[in-house]
Every structure is written in C-alpha cells, then in structure tokens.
Amino acid sequence: MNRQIQELRDLILLATLPHVVFEGWSNDAVAAGIEDLRELPGIEAEGAIRDMSDLAAHFSDWTDRRMVAEMAKIDMPSLKIRQRIASGVRCRLEILEPHRESVRRCLTYMALPQNAGLSLKCTYNTVSEIWYATGDESADFSFYSKRALLAPVLASTVLYWLADEGDGKGDYPETWEFLDRRIADVLKLIQTRIRITDRLAAMSSPLDVCKRFAATVQARR
C-alpha cells in the first residue's frame, strides 16, 4: 500500500469512528464519514474502503503504527522485559482512549464467526509488533510461543479496560495493575518452558542410553 492510499484510508477511518458510536460498525457509519470528507478539497474517498472487514483491519493497522511510534520514544534497554511489554499494551490503549466506544463496537463485529480469521490475523500482527518494538529478536520456537502467550494478555486487557471506568482523571490504574498481573503470569510460563527445555537437553537420549548399556554388557563378557 502506497503512502497516499494509506493516508486516505486513515482519513476515512478517523472520519468514520465518531459515527460508529451512533451507527454501529456499519456501512452507514462509513457513508457518514465519507460524507464529512466531501468538505475537504481533493479527497476522493469512494472505494478506498472495500467493506467493514477492511475497515476493521485498517483500524487495527492504524493503531499498530501509532503504538510502535509511541514505543520508539521509550528507552527500552533501560526497562525490564515485563515493563517493555506493558508499555506496548499501554501505549495502544492510550491511543484508543478517545475511541473507546468505537473499539467496543469493532470488537463486537470481530467476534462474529465469519470474522474469526480476521480477528486472529489482527491480533497476531499487534502482538508481533509489540515484541519487535521491545527489541525481541528471537527466531526459534520462542518467536511463536511469545506471540501466542501475549495474545490472550492483550485480548483480556482490552476487555478489562473497556469495563474500567478509570479514576475520573483519564487514567486507568486498575487496568494497568491487571495488565501487570497477566504479564507476570506469561513470563512465569516462558521461564518454566525454558527450564524444562534445558533439562530435556541435558538428559541423555534413549539411543545414547541403549548404546552405553550395550557397551557395558560387551565389556563384561
């Protein structure tokens, strides 16, 4: 996607989100957003968004890009891994804070059975971007396991955040505490997997045991 098309789709998304509150995640909301853009000179918005699935995917991508930009401002090397991960999820929710009701409507749409594949793809892209932005360079099995473990943390934290009324000052301390607990659970699982893998690697394989047994028997003859 070239930059010009991406910027146009961003404009359509941002023009549509206020209407989602009243029209739901629907074509009517998109039509209202595009109608608002008609006031801007040189904007040809028709056809830039194919359908509501396309808009949902772009909403996730738009948030990912801004999340990564905000994470780039953080001194990641100075933070512990749990703080790096938490900063990614927190940056994402802070970006979405002005659009909480639109997020709620979009999640309802993404929860439909026919959108399961799209939801999985968007979630994978988001957790992958978070891990990359934390400085993670894993390329082995842990590349996938880290993403698989972070996905439910992200999903559950978003749902908790949507139900959290905040502190009345625009912050969500209970959500951040919930996020910290979930990340701590994930890191425990990762550490346990590493310990088990190391122990298995240190154990002799069944073939080696058989070879040593056979050699011992031969030596005693």
* CATH number for the domain that contains residue 167: 1.10.357
Residue 81 and residue 178 in one domain:
yes
Residue 45 and residue 76 in one domain:
no
pLDDT of residue 139: 72
Residue 3 and residue 78 in one domain:
no
Report the pLDDT averaged over residues 181-203.
68
| Lowest mean per-residue pLDDT among 15-24, 91-100, 148-157, 181-190 | 181-190
- Give the predicted TM-score (pTM) of the model: 0.84
In percent, the amount of the chain with pLDDT more than 70 equals: 83
Residue 144 and residue 183 in one domain:
yes
CA distances from 207 to 56, 82, 210, 215, 217 (A): 53, 40, 5, 12, 15
Structural domain containing residue 129: 53-220
Token reading at 104: 């709620």
pLDDT higher at 184 or 1: 184
- Quick one: which of 83, 179, 91 has its CA closest to 129? 91
Residue 153 and residue 178 in one domain:
yes
Residue 44 and residue 62 in one domain:
no
**What does the DSSP 8-state code read for residue 204?**
P
> Helices 52-71 and 116-133: crossing angle, nearest 10°?
10
Residue 78 and residue 37 in one domain:
no
Residue 91 and residue 189 in one domain:
yes
Residue 101 and residue 206 in one domain:
yes
Domains held by the chain: number: 2
Residue 33 and residue 131 in one domain:
no
Q: How confident is the model at residue 212 (pLDDT cuts 50, 70, 90)?
A: low
pLDDT in tens, 8-24: 999 999 999 999 999 99
Q: What is the DSSP string of 75-137?
A: -GGGS-HHHHHHHHHHHHHHHHGGGHHHHHHHHHHHTSGGGHHHHHHHHHHHHHHHHHHTT--
The domain boundary, picked from 30, 49, 68, lies at 49
CA distances from 183 to 2, 7, 69, 205 (A): 36, 34, 22, 34
- Quick one: which of 2, 127, 19, 18 has its CA closest to 63? 127
Q: How confident is the model at residue 206 (pLDDT cuts 50, 70, 90)?
A: low
pLDDT of residue 217: 45
Residue 16 and residue 59 in one domain:
no
Residue 70 and residue 30 in one domain:
no
Q: How confident is the model at residue 220 (pLDDT cuts 50, 70, 90)?
A: low
